[in-house]
Amino acid sequence: MYTKPKLLLFGFISLLILEHCKTRTNADKSTQASVVPVTKTDSIAVFDTIILQLKSKSELIKEDLLELNIDTNYSYKSDETSYCDTAVQLNDSIFYSIIDVSDQAGVCRHTFIVSINEKQKKAIASRYLQPFCDVDYSWDSYVLYDHQIISKDSIQLTKTTIFQKKNRVSTDEEENIDHKQIRKFWFLISPAGQIRSPENICD
């Protein structure tokens, strides 16, 4: 038989165990309540914001570039902000943007074409268009790129390789040029947003 002191001790221990379990259960509920999953609605809201930024030619951050599936080699190494240069509407639901991504070193900007389905809230495709890098005029040759929108579904890229004279004595860089080699390439964007890029641009 239990004596009165033993019964009191047993009751006290039981109360401590119950209180501990109750506190832990409340803490677990509190932790579960604080973890808010990212919903599809949140994702759509984020993409709506990106679409608005692209169409208004606003700044983009790294997270935006990753959301647009732009090449991660450039996205992760980009400066904190990038810029939309152009937005062209192909049809009611599809448009494409030309985006300049600056590198952290500040030496180059890398330009991409990105097509967007604004009704489905997703990026369709992205293609590297051209680099804009600092030129070292001490080189015997260097390359310049330029692009032009020929029509709403066609972009022309011009690659100019400049060969310099062996004896470059003029302060005017144009006078030091021996000759130029010019090649043209075309990027075609389909009504569905697929981007057909030319081959051998880097040759």
Q: Residue 133 falls within a domain, yes or no?
A: yes
Q: Residue 33 falls within a domain, yes or no?
A: no
Is this model's pTM higher than 0.75 or not?
Answer: no
| Structural domain span for residue 110 | 40-195
Cross-strand partners of 145: 159
Distance, C-alpha 18 to centroid of its chain: 53
Q: Residue 14 falls within a domain, yes or no?
A: no
* Sequence-ordered list of residues with C-beta below 8 angstroms from that of 56, at least 6 positions apart, any chain: none
How many domains does one find in the chain? 1
CA distance 51 to 121: 8
Q: Residue 1 falls within a domain, yes or no?
A: no
**Which residue is listed with tokens 């509920």?**
29
* Sequence-ordered list of residues with C-beta below 8 angstroms from that of 26, at least 6 positions apart, any chain: none
> How confident is the prediction along the chain (203 residues), in pLDDT tens digits per residue?
545 555 454 555 555 555 555 554 454 554 444 444 545 566 678 889 999 999 999 888 888 888 888 887 777 677 777 888 899 999 999 999 999 988 777 778 889 999 999 999 999 999 999 998 888 888 899 999 999 999 999 999 999 999 999 888 888 888 889 999 999 999 999 999 999 998 766 65
Q: Residue 111 falls within a domain, yes or no?
A: yes
Residue 201 is predicted with a pLDDT of 67
Residue 34 is predicted with a pLDDT of 47
Q: Residue 3 falls within a domain, yes or no?
A: no
Residue 15 is predicted with a pLDDT of 53
Q: Are 87 and 54 in contact (CB under 8 A)?
A: yes
Write out the chain in H/E/C secondary structure: CCCHHHHHHHHHHHHHHHHHHHHHHHHHHHHHHHCCCCCHHHHHHHHHHHHHHHHCCCEEEHHHHHHCCCCHHHHCCECCEEEEEEEEECCCCEEEEEEEEEECCCCEEEEEEEEEECCCCEEEEEEEEEEEECCCCCCCEEEEEEEEEEECCEEEEEEEEEEECCCCCCCCHHHHEEEEEEEEEEEEECCCCCEECCCCCCC
CA distance 37 to 12: 41
Q: Residue 141 falls within a domain, yes or no?
A: yes
Q: Residue 11 falls within a domain, yes or no?
A: no
